[in-house]
Chains A and B, each alone.
Chain A
Amino acid sequence: MNLFSIAWKSVKQRRLASALTALSVALGVMLMVVVIVISGAVDGVFNQRTIAYDLIVGAKGSDLQLVLSSVFRIQPPIANLPLMYLDQLKNDPRIETAIPLAFGDFTKPEHGAFPIVGTTTEYFLNEYTPGKMYEVENQPGTRQLNGHYDAVIGSQVAYQNDWKVGDKFSIVHGSADSETMHDELFEVVAVLRQTGTPNDRSVFLNLEAVYTLEGHQKSVEEVETRLQDFYGNDAERLALAMGQLKQLREKRAKGQELGDAEMGYGMDTPDAMKEITAVYVKTRSAFDAVRFQSELKNTSKAVAVNPIRPIQRLMTNIVGNIQKALIALTAMIIVVSGISIFVSIYNSMSDRKREIGIMRALGARRGSVFAIVLAESAVLCIGGGLMGWLLGHTLAIVAAPQVSAMTGLLLNPWVIDKSEFVLFPVLLVLGALVGFLPALTAYRTNVADALNG
């Protein structure tokens, strides 16, 4: 019969008080584990290389907003770039891949208000994160956006709306709460497998189709001004764009004799009238990326942003601090639980004075009774902690599919974060701290008084 088994007996003797105090520790630890698991998932989304591209090219403005809008799709885009600029990028020898993206519309609020991304099939033929290619759920399906009104949807969009290949839907213009609905119906041609990225909650449409939607056309005058602003230093490209606009004006001058398409509102809209929000760029080398980025900074109205750095800044300055605050809060809960253990054990000391006296009379040293009380506190802290750790991971395991479907966060409840390894030594120290005073009371117990009392 060792000191721990004696301590365990004492814990069992005060079943209810022990269970409640251990439970309070368990709840604190459970919360902490859940925060750690969710933080891990958030880190996974924001801190890793969530997209397998070196640069995001967009209109000049906030780097962070460009990344949040084009990669995470949680901010409205800043401004647009001329589509003609995409050709320029594609022809740059330093650039291996340039994929256009156009944002601005959403699925209807009752369909989850998921962002619409106008792009090309090339988007799906590249890795979404290093080493991972898009896969299609529930064959038959395709990663091609061949048809004008084809739509490839993310896993969360499909889950929330119960959409399958062949289902049709319409979208709203502008913002998620806009009342302007596009008349066109888009057909799901593929459901992407879950990626754990913002792609899961995105709807991909054919870029060309996006231009034909009502309300996406700007006036020729407005486009002209924008092009002049963008290509102010590039007379050759400006002349090319202006030529296209001139032709469009001439077509429109003929007026009623032409159909919509030829009027420049449909499929034959000249490239000069088209805009994109951002371009995902993969360069041939890291050096090319740096050189290209620096070149744009000095010479262009576009900007190339490393998709990781603004997010790292965001994580360091805001998200990371929120995570730290949450962990600190749960740590406080654990400390409060520890105090409840202290109160529970300390209050029991007067009842146990006689027991301690008996043990001392039987030959237990002061150090032994001190250790027994300390062990009791440690048993409650570690036992509660273990229970909370298991509960936390169980909760994460049970909730992971639901959370993942609802938020797109890929929780990995099976992975044990390195901070969890610190948890138990910390609980042991907490147990020692909260048990110290009651243990000292046991240590100082006057045997003769305790036996006579």
Chain B
Amino acid sequence: MSLILDHVKKSYKEPNGNRLPVLGIDRYELQQGEQAALVGSSGGGKTTLLNVISGILTPDSGQVIVDGRDIAGLHEVSRDRFRAAKIGFVFQTFNLLPAFTALENVLLGMSFSGRGVDRPFAISLLERVGLGSRLNHVPGRMSVGEQQRVSVARSMANKPALLLADEPTANVDPANQELILNLIKDTCKEHNVTLLMVTHAMEVANTFTRIDRLADFNKPLLASSEVS
């Protein structure tokens, strides 16, 4: 099993001191190498869920098991290192560092993993996404589609166990949407990486064999009332 969410609850503290429940998940699982689209409405907790899975946020309670390890129980430093080594990210807004070239952006992803930098592998990843000739170009000199491809290459830099993609095609023109989508799926398949793609676009979700609706398994209010 690549990802297990077990009795995960997450709430935010509001300015008035009350807590706003956002996540209340009894059980959610993804098999190793499985690819799933997670559909949810805006403000439904999709981003919070990704942040909890990646260890950026810690749940109030419950277990978040990635590649056999409960990252909710890890100390922050260990969580950071685990995230660098085991979890890849593809963001909606690409989130490339503007001062770094395409290659450097990929290498940057490697440099925090503690496993050192594998330059040939970084180059091969960029070649795989069709950017072999643009290794030394900075994001500002690349098209939106190319930037997202760099982002895909970077997400695979540390050979992660799990790839989290947050609306990766939302800012890409229709011509590139399919290309990016297939690239992410194919790359994950090639490296046997579990893929969880968050989207609100059904046409994107429909390209997946497994489509999960967040509202179906996330019951924050119910979880909250159970607690109280």
Contacts and interface: CB of A to CB of B under 8 A. Distances in A.
B84 A362 contact: yes
Contact of B100 (A9, A364, A367, A448): A9
Contacts of B89: 361-362
B170 to A, nearest CB: 14
Contact of B85 (A354, A357, A363): A363
B117 A13 contact: no
Contacts of B109: 362-363
A19 interface: no
B185 interface: no
Contact of A361 (B77, B95, B107): B95
A10 B99 contact: yes
B80 A354 contact: no
A451 B91 contact: yes
Contact of B81 (A355, A358, A363): A363
A317 interface: no
B108 A1 contact: yes
B182 interface: no
Nearest to B95: A358
Interface centre among A2, A12, A448 (most CB of B within 10 A): A448
A355 B111 contact: no
Interface string A324-360: 0000000000000000000000000000001101111
Interface in A419-453: 447-448, 451-452
B112 A354 contact: no
B80 A360 contact: yes
Contact of A1 (B77, B99, B117, B158): B117
Contacts of B99: 9-10, 12-13
Contacts, number: 74
A360 B56 contact: yes
B61 interface: no
A126 interface: no
Interface size class of A (residues with CB under 8 A): 20 to 34
A358 B109 CA distance: 10
A451 B96 CA distance: 12
Nearest to B89: A361
B97 A448 contact: no
A42 B223 CA distance: 81
A9 B76 CA distance: 26
Nearest to A13: B99
Nearest to B97: A355
B51 A448 contact: yes
B81 to A, nearest CB: 6
A365 B81 contact: yes
A358 to B, nearest CB: 5
A368 interface: yes
Nearest to B83: A363
B169 interface: no
A84 interface: no
A148 interface: no
Interface in B67-102: 76-77, 80-81, 83-85, 89, 91, 95-100
Contacts of B98: 13
B25 to A, nearest CB: 18
B57 interface: yes
Given A360-B80, A362-B112, A1 B57 contact: no
A359 B113 CA distance: 11
Interface string A95-120: 00000000000000000000000000
A-B pairs with lowest CB-CB distance, top 4: A363-B84, A13-B99, A363-B112, A1-B111
12 contacts: A1-B108, A9-B100, A9-B104, A13-B99, A359-B108, A361-B83, A362-B108, A363-B158, A365-B76, A448-B56, A451-B95, A452-B47
Interface of B: 47-48, 51, 54, 56-57, 76-77, 80-81, 83-85, 89, 91, 95-100, 104, 107-113, 117, 154, 158
Given A358-B96, A360-B56, A361-B95, 13 more contacts: A1-B111, A13-B99, A362-B83, A362-B84, A362-B89, A362-B108, A362-B109, A364-B84, A365-B112, A366-B77, A368-B112, A447-B56, A451-B56
